Amino acid sequence: MLFHVEMEVRIPHDLPTERADALKQAERVRAVELQRTGAWRHLWRVAGRYANVSIFDVSGAQELHDILCSLPLFPFMEIRVAPLCRHPSSIRDDDR
* Residue 96: per-residue pLDDT: 60
What average pLDDT does the segment 50-72 reach? 98
CA–CA dist 48, 96 (Å, integer)? 27
14-47: per-residue pLDDT in tens?
Answer: 999 999 999 999 999 999 999 999 999 999 999 9
70-95: per-residue pLDDT in tens?
Answer: 999 999 999 999 999 988 898 887 76
* Residue 93: per-residue pLDDT: 77
CA–CA dist 32, 24 (Å, integer)? 12
Amino acid, single-letter form, for residue 75:
P
Domain extents in the chain? 2-84
Fold of 2-84: Alpha-Beta Plaits (3.30.70)
